[in-house]
Chains A and B, each alone.
Chain A
């Protein structure tokens, strides 16, 4: 037990160190723009259809579950408020984070893991090419950009899905649904004069993107042991990303709404 805690602490320490190294390499962002664009395509464009599908059904499920209860109370007009706030605050960034961890994160860990076991990372080292600058930083930047953008898409499609269910199954007028949903998202935050529920969700997505990139890159570059090691690294990347997203989500929510 003590050894497991020690090992986990050591691993998260190494990940924080990798994040710090990546931040120190941000001055090279412009030089790596084409790699960042490639990663944005892989982690953004190629994942969009999954986020659309999952976001749509997440909004529909939420509308149906809460709507049926609200209908018993005669409050189904409020369904737009609940779906909009839930998607913007929690569901949007959370499901985007999970989808990204499972798709882009696993691909990233497998790609870097394969490079590690086939000596490509050693070759970069021998050529004095900084792997953090060349491999890690572009991926961290790409996921930090992709995750909030995908979250906006998830929020939008989720609210639309909720509207579809509200109008077809709960007899709520579509126009009323969207008016209440948008009104709910308008309240500005204390720090920024933007809708707090939107920017708090996007801030979470930004953090989740960084978490996925750093954990997956770390799993990839520390891979040892051939194909078996690559499989292990991929599994570890997805598992640890999801766990870290969930734990950090609680603390981010506490920070933004309770503190």
Chain B
């Protein structure tokens, strides 16, 4: 699939911190044993922006994403989403918050004994009062949105890596999420499928106006989906730039990182 570069929109967007961000990290520290993963991370994500987090493996990209949705708690510091401290709010509020957020896991994380339709329908069956006909209609619509119509009865084991991610994305979108978190959406995919996933992420962000945070190490993904790019290293932000400035940056860490990019 031919990849199209997303039009540069960063100059029209507020820079980090200028408008009330929907995600706000303040002095976030996280360690696993002696290994420091996040070391006083400060990060803002304004509404409507697609932020790409890049960085070497083990530098805390996925950990950052997991803090947003409360899957991990910081040792120190604050993570606010829509003005609420994710680690201080009551369970009920966290559940309500999570309904507004979609999360695409690296391998889709589909429940292996449920077919595609039931996987996508799961959040609605568990947490909504919609009847079965309404659920079916919504699921089919989301499957069409990710270009996978008519595969309701297929089992996760029968799907390719790219299809699993698309189904995972349909599930992330099923509650009409306002914020989508993508954890390595291109991992394990061939270049063609990877490009197709990039296009889909950009398409969803543009057509639905969803705020997105994408963790990746691929330059091709940055070109297609990003409004803004941050480079994480040793649990800290070392670069925070609009996409085109990032790609043209002469910062030694950016050049070194992009130079190693297999793409």
Interchain CA distance A128-B99 in the complex, whole Å: 8
Q: Is A119 in contact with B99, judged by CB distance below 8 angstroms?
A: no
| Residues of chain A lying within 8 A (CB to CB) of residue B106 | 119
A53 interface residue per 8 A CB criterion:
no
Task: Type the 1/0 row for B87-126, where 1 means its CB is closer than 8 Å to any CB of A.
Answer: 0000000010011010101110111100000000011001
Interchain CA distance A120-B126 in the complex, whole Å: 16
| Nearest CB in chain B: distance from A39 CB, A | 11
Chain B residue nearest to A35 in the complex (CB): B113
| Nearest CB in chain A: distance from B171 CB, A | 8
Chain A residue nearest to B125 in the complex (CB): A129
Give the residue of B66, B107, B123 whose beta carbon is less than 8 angstroms from that of A127: B123
Q: Given A120-B109, A120-B111, A123-B103, A129 and B98 touching (CB < 8 A)?
A: no
Q: Given A118-B109, A120-B111, A126 and B126 touching (CB < 8 A)?
A: no
| Nearest CB in chain A: distance from B152 CB, A | 18
Interchain CA distance A76-B112 in the complex, whole Å: 55
Q: Given A120-B110, A120-B111, A134-B126, A127 and B105 touching (CB < 8 A)?
A: no
What total of A-B pairs shows CB separation below 8 Å?
A: 46
| Residues of chain B lying within 8 A (CB to CB) of residue A125 | 71
Interchain CA distance A174-B214 in the complex, whole Å: 75
A194 interface residue per 8 A CB criterion:
no
| Nearest CB in chain B: distance from A34 CB, A | 11
Interface size on A, residues (CB 8 A): 14
Q: Is A123 in contact with B127, judged by CB distance below 8 angstroms?
A: no
| Residues of chain A lying within 8 A (CB to CB) of residue B66 | 122
| Residues of chain B lying within 8 A (CB to CB) of residue A124 | 111
Give the residue of A120, A126, A134 whose beta carbon is less than 8 angstroms from that of B112: A120
Q: Is A126 in contact with B69, judged by CB distance below 8 angstroms?
A: yes
Q: Given A118-B109, A119-B105, A127 and B71 touching (CB < 8 A)?
A: no
Chain B residue nearest to A114 in the complex (CB): B112
| Residues of chain B lying within 8 A (CB to CB) of residue A118 | 107, 109
Most buried by B among A115, A120, A127: A127
Q: Is B123 in contact with A129, judged by CB distance below 8 angstroms?
A: yes
Interchain CA distance A129-B99 in the complex, whole Å: 11
Interchain CA distance A124-B119 in the complex, whole Å: 11
Interchain CA distance A114-B95 in the complex, whole Å: 25
Give the residue of B109, B112, B127 whose beta carbon is less than 8 angstroms from that of A122: B109
| Residues of chain B lying within 8 A (CB to CB) of residue A114 | 112
Task: Type the 1/0 row for A114-142, where 1 means its CB is closer than 8 Å to any CB of B.
Answer: 11001110111111110000100000000
Interchain CA distance A149-B107 in the complex, whole Å: 40
Q: Is B103 in contact with A128, judged by CB distance below 8 angstroms?
A: no
Interchain CA distance A120-B101 in the complex, whole Å: 17
| Nearest CB in chain B: distance from A165 CB, A | 43
| Residues of chain A lying within 8 A (CB to CB) of residue B95 | 128
Q: Is B109 in contact with A128, judged by CB distance below 8 angstroms?
A: no
Chain A residue nearest to B156 in the complex (CB): A120
| Residues of chain B lying within 8 A (CB to CB) of residue A128 | 95, 98-99, 123, 126-127
| Nearest CB in chain A: distance from B210 CB, A | 16
Task: Type the 1/0 row for A29-62, where 1 means its CB is closer than 8 Å to any CB of B.
Answer: 0000000000000000000000000000000000
Task: Type the 1/0 row for B123-140, where 1 means its CB is closer than 8 Å to any CB of A.
Answer: 100110000000000000
| Nearest CB in chain B: distance from A209 CB, A | 22
| Residues of chain A lying within 8 A (CB to CB) of residue B109 | 118-120, 122-123
| Nearest CB in chain B: distance from A140 CB, A | 18
Interchain CA distance A127-B71 in the complex, whole Å: 11
Q: Is A127 in contact with B110, judged by CB distance below 8 angstroms?
A: no
Q: Given A120-B112, A122-B105, A127 and B69 touching (CB < 8 A)?
A: no
Chain A residue nearest to B168 in the complex (CB): A123
| Residues of chain B lying within 8 A (CB to CB) of residue A120 | 109-112
User: 26 A-B residue contacts at CB 8 Å?
Assistant: A114-B112, A115-B111, A119-B105, A119-B106, A119-B107, A120-B109, A120-B110, A120-B111, A122-B71, A122-B105, A123-B105, A123-B110, A126-B69, A126-B98, A126-B101, A126-B103, A127-B98, A127-B127, A127-B171, A128-B95, A128-B98, A128-B99, A128-B123, A128-B126, A128-B127, A129-B127
Question: 12 more A-B contacts (CB under 8 A) besides A120-B109, A123-B109?
Answer: A118-B107, A119-B105, A120-B110, A122-B66, A122-B71, A123-B103, A126-B71, A127-B171, A128-B95, A128-B126, A128-B127, A129-B127
Which of B's residues lie within 8 Å of A, judged by CB?
66, 69, 71, 95, 98-99, 101, 103, 105-107, 109-112, 122-123, 126-127, 171
**Nearest 10 CB-CB pairs, A to B?**
A123-B109, A119-B109, A128-B95, A127-B123, A119-B105, A126-B103, A129-B126, A120-B109, A128-B98, A122-B71
